[in-house]
């Protein structure tokens, strides 16, 4: 009896713990919480009812009626436990249908109680199985089979590890029922309690997977929205000086290809990890966003610019970082904003320190801007603009090579020229 009392106490404690967890867990809907609460409260009650019935067995005539009522409720509720499990696992329709079926069992228990067909208590208050006790066992086994089938229905669209949980439920249930069947050792409610815990963990794991998948999908959607917004803004800026956005797309491809080639060649490989390259590719379209502050008559001028007009053009670099932070600050990741700001501000700096807007030189120029400088100049050389004809590509590669160490980072320029077939 001491071991049995410990098993019942463990079951009750487990159900109390799960009940409080359900009440305060934010991941479930109100409907899911109701089904789980029905499950755990029913296990708690049935285990307690069985303990009381066994503890007061044979205590006399005065206990016959209350023990009969308590046992009817227990025998009626126990087969409903798998139904509650199934409802909690999300199969609402199946749970409702099963509830109706097992309602017949409730009716059978109530009708048979006065006649002792399923169970009875004698005048001394001792418990005996009735002639048709097998009806209770049949309903109980059917309910367990129903639970297992529904677990497979829920779990078939999930990963293999969740099938292992279903197998564990089977093993625990069999391990709990065999001592009862073979030796009349009452461990069934402890097994039911453990199975309830396993089912709870099982479904909670599925919920977390769904939440994780939704988060990933939402992040991917947000990423695409950011990318389209950035590209759209960049294309609007480019269209002001008769570009169609093709410069933005070409420059982005050149930047990504140059970064990947440099990484393969071991040039700045530690800095050029996957995240850096993907962020660089995403933020490249923002490099000329500062042109928004330059008047149209200067951007669209087809002749040679005056010195004053050229100073106005140069403003797009100094203003680029500010515009980026005003547009993207607080909207996207700070790392993205910082790189976009570096690209917009410093992509006209030169390796020899003779660039603008701040005259940075060498590796003090951010790596993202040094990569952007090569790609931007190359595309400008080989593209037709309102003020120039395009250069042949071989001539453009030669100019990049000649400007290595003066205009461009020499290591990046070497990578660019060595991989000319990829551009």
Q: Residue 244: pLDDT band by 50, 70, 90 thresholds?
A: very low
Return d(Cα 52, Cα 96) in angstroms, integer: 30
Please give the average per-residue pLDDT across 315-319, as a whole number: 88
Cβ(422)–Cβ(378) under 8 Å? Answer: no
pLDDT digits (tens, 9 = 90+) for 39-61: 888 889 988 888 888 888 888 88
Query: What is the overall mean pLDDT for the chain?
Result: 81
Instruction: Tally the C-alpha atoms within 13 A of residue 8's C-alpha that lie toward its C-beta.
Output: 18
Is position 291 annotated as part of the catalytic site?
A: yes
- Check residue 337 and give its pLDDT: 86
Residue whose pair of structure tokens reads 């099982």 in the numeric block: 202
Q: Residue 166: pLDDT band by 50, 70, 90 thresholds?
A: low
Neighbour tally for 264: CB within 10 Å: 12
Cβ(393)–Cβ(382) under 8 Å? Answer: yes
Question: pLDDT at residue 242 above 60?
Answer: no
Return d(Cα 382, Cα 374) in angstroms, integer: 12
- Check residue 347 and give its pLDDT: 95
Give this prediction's pTM.
0.53
Catalytic residue among 291, 304, 314, 389: 291
Return d(Cα 64, Cα 61) in angstroms, integer: 5
Q: Residue 160: pLDDT band by 50, 70, 90 thresholds?
A: very low
Domains and CATH numbers, the chain: 2-213 (1.20.1070.10), 240-422 (1.10.3210.10)
Please give the average per-residue pLDDT across 411-415, as a whole number: 96
Which 3 state secondary structure label does DSSP give 407? coil
Please give the average per-residue pLDDT across 417-423, as a whole number: 91
Return d(Cα 350, Cα 172) in angstroms, integer: 71
Cβ(183)–Cβ(212) under 8 Å? Answer: no
Tokens of 33: 């919480």
pLDDT digits (tens, 9 = 90+) for 337-366: 899 899 999 999 999 999 999 999 999 999
């Amino acid at each position: 009896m001491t071991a049995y009392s410990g098993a019942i106490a463990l079951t009750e404690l487990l159900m109390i713990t799960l009940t409080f967890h359900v009440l305060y867990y934010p991941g479930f809907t109100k409907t899911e919480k109701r089904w789980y609460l029905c499950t755990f409260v029913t296990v708690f009650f049935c285990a307690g009812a069985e303990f009381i019935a066994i503890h007061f067995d044979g205590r006399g005539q005065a206990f016959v009626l209350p023990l009969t009522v308590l046992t009817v409720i227990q025998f009626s509720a126990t087969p409903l436990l798998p139904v509650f499990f199934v409802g909690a696992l999300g199969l609402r329709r199946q749970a409702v249908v099963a509830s109706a079926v097992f309602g017949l069992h409730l009716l059978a228990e109530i009708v048979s109680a006065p006649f002792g067909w399923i169970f009875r208590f004698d005048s001394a208050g001792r418990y005996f199985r009735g002639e048709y006790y097998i009806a209770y066992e049949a309903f109980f086994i059917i309910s367990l089979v129903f639970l297992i089938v529904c677990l497979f229905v829920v779990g078939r669209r999930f990963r293999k590890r969740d099938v292992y949980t279903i197998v564990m439920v089977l093993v625990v249930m069999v391990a709990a029922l065999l001592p009862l069947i073979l030796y009349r050792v009452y461990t069934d409610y402890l097994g039911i309690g453990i199975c309830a815990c396993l089912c709870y963990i099982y479904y909670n794991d599925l919920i977390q997977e769904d939440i994780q998948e939704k988060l990933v999908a939402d992040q991917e959607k947000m990423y695409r929205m950011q990318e389209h917004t950035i590209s759209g803004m960049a294309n609007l800026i480019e269209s002001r000086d008769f570009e169609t956005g093709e410069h933005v797309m070409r420059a982005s491809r050149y930047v990504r290809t140059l970064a990947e080639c440099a990484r393969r060649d071991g040039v700045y490989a530690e800095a050029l990890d996957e995240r850096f390259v993907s962020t660089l590719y995403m933020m490249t379209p923002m490099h000329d966003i500062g042109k928004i502050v330059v008047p149209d008559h200067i951007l669209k001028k087809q002749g040679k610019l005056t010195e004053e007009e050229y100073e106005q053009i140069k403003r797009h670099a100094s203003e680029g970082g500010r515009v980026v932070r005003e547009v993207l600050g607080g909207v996207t990741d700070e790392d993205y904003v910082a790189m976009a700001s570096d690209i917009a501000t410093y992509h006209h700096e030169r390796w020899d320190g003779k660039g603008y807007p701040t005259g940075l030189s060498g590796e003090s120029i951010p790596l993202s801007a040094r990569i952007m400088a090569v790609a931007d100049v190359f595309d400008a050389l080989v593209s037709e603009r309102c003020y120039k004809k395009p250069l042949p590509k071989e001539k453009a590669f030669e100019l990049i090579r000649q400007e290595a160490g003066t205009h461009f980072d020499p290591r990046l320029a070497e990578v660019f020229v060595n991989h000319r077939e990829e551009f």
